């Protein structure tokens, strides 16, 4: 996060705007769209899923808005892939390789903040920045574990399947046009194929 914080500060200095920057160090083919929950990385025959970086960066946007008292129009999101990644689906202009990242930042010509406002934002960001170290890392891991556990509890809806009476659970589509999207289905699948 500290590298990303530095890039936010740099973008403020360059263009007078804040740009939350999500970086992904990946190689291989990258498949995904703006609305998919998960994207796919493929290296030869091996495929792995990862969280949509646009969704991930949206959370960063909201955190910056609330922490720095900014309006949504003050922020521009950008996702930069470093490494040997190749996009195999059309990507929005704010998802780019590292060489396109600076070009995207420079394309935002309209200055949003004055120099004194930029200085105040940099000071505020420095105050909010967590100190690096084992304690911070452990707190972060505990927080993420807690969030994952909470999400897992929420997925167990407690509702009964109207067809067979088993519990309904959140599932992830693996094939066809809905691949990567979540849906509610019966926990007794494949015996019961009820979905909603």
Question: Could you report the per-residue pLDDT of 29-40, keeping only the tens digit for each?
Answer: 999 999 898 999
pLDDT band at 15 (very low <50, low <70, confident <90, very high): low
Are 46 and 94 found together in one domain?
A: yes
Domain final residue pick, 129, 160, 177: 129
Are 70 and 166 found together in one domain?
A: no
The verdict on residue 142 lying in a domain is no
CA–CA dist 99, 81 (Å, integer): 9
In the chain, the number of structural domains is: 2
Are 84 and 117 found together in one domain?
A: yes
pTM passes above 0.85: no
**What is the reported pLDDT for 187?**
81
Are 95 and 17 found together in one domain?
A: yes
Share of the chain above pLDDT 70, in %: 84
Instruction: Give Cβ neighbours of residue 173 (< 8 Å, ≥ 6 apart).
Output: 179, 180, 181, 182, 183
pLDDT band at 156 (very low <50, low <70, confident <90, very high): low
Are 108 and 78 found together in one domain?
A: yes
The verdict on residue 140 lying in a domain is no
The verdict on residue 141 lying in a domain is no
Q: Which domain holds residue 26?
A: 2-129
pLDDT band at 73 (very low <50, low <70, confident <90, very high): confident
Q: Read off the pLDDT of residues 114-133 as tens digits, 9 standing for 90 and up.
A: 778 878 887 887 777 777 78
The verdict on residue 138 lying in a domain is no
Are 111 and 181 found together in one domain?
A: no
């Amino acid at each position: 996060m500290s590298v990303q914080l530095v890039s936010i500060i740099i973008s403020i200095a360059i263009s007078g705007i804040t740009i939350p920057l999500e970086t992904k160090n990946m190689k291989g083919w990258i498949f995904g769209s703006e609305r998919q929950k998960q994207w796919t990385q493929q290296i030869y025959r091996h495929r792995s899923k990862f969280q949509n970086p646009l969704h991930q960066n949206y959370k960063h946007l909201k955190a910056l808005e609330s922490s720095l008292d900014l309006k949504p129009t003050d922020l521009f999101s950008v996702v930069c892939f470093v490494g040997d990644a190749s996009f195999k689906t059309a990507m929005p202009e704010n998802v780019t390789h590292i060489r396109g990242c600076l070009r995207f930042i420079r394309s935002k010509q309209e200055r949003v903040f004055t120099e004194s406002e930029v200085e105040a934002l940099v000071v505020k960001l420095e105050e909010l920045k967590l100190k690096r170290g084992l304690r911070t890392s452990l707190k972060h891991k505990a927080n993420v574990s807690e969030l994952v556990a909470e999400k897992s509890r929420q997925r167990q809806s407690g509702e009964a399947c109207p067809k067979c009476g088993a519990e309904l659970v959140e599932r992830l589509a693996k094939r066809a046009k809905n691949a990567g999207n979540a849906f509610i289905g019966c926990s007794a699948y494949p015996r019961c194929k009820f979905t909603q």
